[in-house]
Amino acid sequence: MTKLRRTISFLLIASLMLLVCSCSKPGNNIGPTNNAGMAAETEQPIQPTAVAGNVPFVDSEGYVEFGVNDDLSKLPQMEAVNVKIVVSSKNLDAFKTAVLPDGCEMLDLVFAPEGTDNSLDMSDLTAPDSLITINITVSNCGKLVMPDAKNTGTLNVSGNFDELDASGLSALDLLHIDGDSCGKLTLPPSVTNIITSCALDISMLSGLSALERLTISGSTDLSPLSEISSVKYLTLCRGGWDLAPLAESGVISLNINQSEGIDIADVNKLTKLETLQLSDNVNGDISPILAHPSLKRLLIYVADTENNQRSILSLAFGTPINKENISLLDGDIDCAISVDDLRAFINNGGELYFLRDITRL
């Protein structure tokens, strides 16, 4: 049972990474990425404090929503778990020193800078200990400074910025950046997971000794990972990648997604690699890596064809193909990778998984 649970958990993470990488354009809003950041249920509907003129609005989901003309001094009086605030030049000064209500678990912020003042410093914002998740949507933002919030574990930033200083979030665990570019990062040492939809300078992460998971979209230099041995799970989305610098890294799980111009043979240089995820339409011959001495699991994304639906994609979720059920490969399968090569991998002691490629639906 323990092995099955590990397998199912592993595939859930793999599917999440594929979903993140499949988004061709960043969304305007990023939802919470863990259960701790979800809105808490309330027994009684939250009532607005007034009905007209420059007052907060409470939506049907129990969020207190403040527009640019609303009185932010009313924030501490609210009894909502989650707060939405739109910030522009009209209420920027008031927001910088605002006090979030006690019990607030999530802050959803939309920053629409006007004129030359396009930075947002929230270091003087008073955040309660209950604040777990911060979601920020920005547009061509300059410097973005997070408040001191000792229990905030998730930060989602959508849009482009020149610099992000999240050092005040001393318990930050997950950073998700959804934009076309990524500026300078100053992060606390607590961060374990970074997901980006853009390329970033990995050397900025050199001080993050707890960082275990890294997802990058677009091509960037991977050589700094040789100095960040804590990174074990690496996902590379889109763009061309030189895998050779990973030879000195500590990566044990590599997901190559929607990427071109990769020399697959370089995978053999990752001497610690245990898990490899890739699409069956990856460029190059993968047969040289199938005898990799430490590679234990191979996950292959295939097209959702009728043949695959009847065979490999109809398997129970989380079921590996191994020596005991290798006959599953005898059916009619649409896979660009040679089935004979896959059999050889299994006979060498490996486990094979087929996953539905949602980017080809």
How confident is the model over 69-108, as pLDDT tens digits? 899 998 998 877 799 999 998 899 999 999 999 999 999 9
Q: Provide mean pLDDT across the span 253-282.
A: 87
20 or 113, which is more confident: 113
pLDDT at 45: 39
**342, 325 contact by CB (below 8 A):** no
pLDDT at 317: 66
How does the average pLDDT of the chain come out, rounded?
83
127-147 pLDDT tens trace: 999 999 999 999 888 999 999
pLDDT at 4: 46
- Nearest 5 degrees, angle CA 66-CA 72-CA 76? 105
- In this prediction the pTM is 0.83
pLDDT at 259: 65
Q: Provide mean pLDDT across the span 202-224.
A: 93
25-36 pLDDT tens trace: 333 333 333 333
277-301 pLDDT tens trace: 998 888 777 888 888 999 999 999 9
pLDDT at 263: 82
**319, 295 contact by CB (below 8 A):** no
Letter for the amino acid at 213? R
Compute CA 337 distance to the chain's CA centroid, rounded to the nearest angstrom. Answer: 28
Residue environment code for 111-134, b if the CB has 16+ CB neighbours within 10 A, otherwise e: bbbeeeebbbebeebebeebbbbb
- Residue ranges of E strands in 242-349: 253-257, 275-279, 297-302
pLDDT at 162: 92
- Which residues pair with residue 64 across a beta bridge? 58, 83
- For 21, phi then psi, to 5°, come to -75, -20
**273, 252 contact by CB (below 8 A):** yes
Widest CA span in the chain: 72
Q: What is the Cα–Cα distance from 67 to 90, expressed in whole angstroms?
A: 10
Handedness of CA 196, 201, 207, 209 (dihedral sign): positive
- For 109, phi then psi, to 5°, come to -125, 130
Q: Provide mean pLDDT across the span 164-185.
A: 95
